Amino acid sequence: MTHENTLAYAKKQDAQDPLAVYRDKFHHPVIDGKQVLYFTGNSLGLQPKSAREYINKELDEWAKWGVEGHFEAENPWVSYHEILMPGSARLVGAKESEVVCMGSLTNNLHLLFVSFYKPTAKRYKIISEAKMFPSDRYLLETQARHHGLDPDEAIIEISPRDGEHLIREEDIISAIEEHSDELALVFFGGMNYFTGQLFDMKKLTKVAHEHGALAGFDLAHAAGNVPLDLHNWDVDFAAWCTYKYINSSAGNVAGLFVHERHGNDTSINRFGGWWGHNKERRFLMENSFEPMQGAEGWQISNAPVMGMALLKASLDIFDEAGIHHLREKSLQLTSYLEFIFNDVVNQFPDFQLEIITPSDPQQRGAQLSIKLIGTDKSFFDKLTKAGVISDFRSPDVIRVAPAPLYNSFEDVYQFGSTLHSLLSKWR
């Protein structure tokens, strides 16, 4: 597609966009009396306008029924998580029995590691990407220590080569092969939070399994952003948050995936809780834990219904729009952002800004990470003051993420116009 850096072109693309109607299904922030350009769905998605209706419904049920709402509400709270399973399964490419919405992202990963990181004297190493999100690194570090291991010995981090920003797939595979005899687990972010690099999860899983290791993923930046196919990719386990691209509110309930070959094995070690116990016998108050089959067997506590109502509001929108249709628009929207950025920046050769996200659309999602060269965070601060809500990650990267559900081509054009104005004044 040949893009143009004109308002007329952007408006034409929006007029031809079958998903443009979804923009008005979200609240767009107004700051200092001006509607801002919001490109931070990779940190916190916008609020669906329907969210208030969904949560008010459960507030009304609570007012009407009190505790009896667990069984008498239109969507009984005792099984509320079950109505989220179909939509969640479609988003991540899983069977319904392989997913459950519960807890928070890092908590869920710790619970999954209880089951799937079982180091032995011989097999104890974990291969992961360097500069993963700190919470993931803390997860690996503390899990290693929990098992009496030295994190520096147990964790093998794959870094970009000198002078490069992205991790080469062949370097990951080479490390798996090199440490094959000692490898317990391959664990990556599905998409790197800093660079926006999308990893080939199918291939990494296949290679891990070929060398006797399990494969798990943090899908914080992948779920709701790109189509996933966890079941068919044969991924062992994964978890994701729902407040980024899935737009379910800050810190809301997360998601968890366990492949059915593990989920149906009730002998797998895990931390038990009442909500993961055989639901047919749960209220018998027995002392012996009998996990439910499937991902539900990893539940610990009862469902946070208000938070799940917000998640249902968003999942219903995703079901209506379709993740594959959203991906098609995302490819076009991100391509346009890349074009606009390069067109503007090339007009100011003395001011160095560089996109470090893969140029191959199949190796990225909605995010473009812009590296600041020769300047500091003050540039980001001025961009924010000018009405562009993006995201800064230390030491020198601005993350811009046009979300296809609520961002438009005109948004992207206006970003370019704002960037041009800022660079003109910066000189």
C-alpha–C-alpha distance, residues 218 and 239, integer Å: 5
For residue 60, what pLDDT band results from cuts at 50, 70 and 90?
very high
- Before 29, cis peptide (omega within 30)? no
> Model's pTM, two decimal places?
0.96
- Residues 6 or more apart whose CB falls under 8 angstroms from that of 291 comprise 266, 270, 272, 276, 277, 278, 297, 298
C-alpha–C-alpha distance, residues 35 and 292, integer Å: 48
Q: Take residue 181 and report the two structure tokens written for it.
A: 């005899």
Do the Cβ atoms of 81 and 102 come closer than 8 Å?
yes
CA 405 to the chain's CA centroid? 15
pLDDT at 349: 86
Q: Which of 361, 403, 106, 368 is nearest to 225 (CA)?
A: 403
The residue-averaged pLDDT of 56-74 equals 97
pLDDT in tens, 190-240: 999 999 999 999 999 999 999 999 999 999 999 999 999 999 999 999 999
C-alpha–C-alpha distance, residues 297 and 276, integer Å: 5
The residue-averaged pLDDT of 379-400 equals 94
pLDDT at 6: 97
**Structural domains of the chain, with CATH:** 7-47+323-426 (3.90.1150.10), 53-320 (3.40.640.10)
Largest CA distance in the chain: 73
pLDDT in tens, 323-338: 999 999 999 999 999 9
Q: Angle 67-71-74 (CA atoms, 0-180°, nearest 5)?
A: 105
pLDDT at 167 over 90: yes
Q: Which of 21, 12, 39 is nearest to 398 (CA)?
A: 39
C-alpha–C-alpha distance, residues 79 and 280, integer Å: 12
Please report which residue ranges of 367-408 form alpha helices under DSSP H: 377-385
C-alpha–C-alpha distance, residues 209 and 387, integer Å: 47
C-alpha–C-alpha distance, residues 136 and 264, integer Å: 27
C-alpha–C-alpha distance, residues 270 and 115, integer Å: 5
Radius of gyration of the chain (CA): 23
- Of 179 and 282, the structure prediction assigns the larger pLDDT to 179
Read off the DSSP letter of residue 390: -
The half-sphere exposure of 248 on its side-chain side, counting CA atoms within 13 A, is 30
CA 38 to the chain's CA centroid? 18
- Residues 6 or more apart whose CB falls under 8 angstroms from that of 109 comprise 136, 139, 216, 218, 239
How high does pLDDT run on average in the chain?
96
The residue-averaged pLDDT of 11-23 equals 98
pLDDT at 427 over 70: no
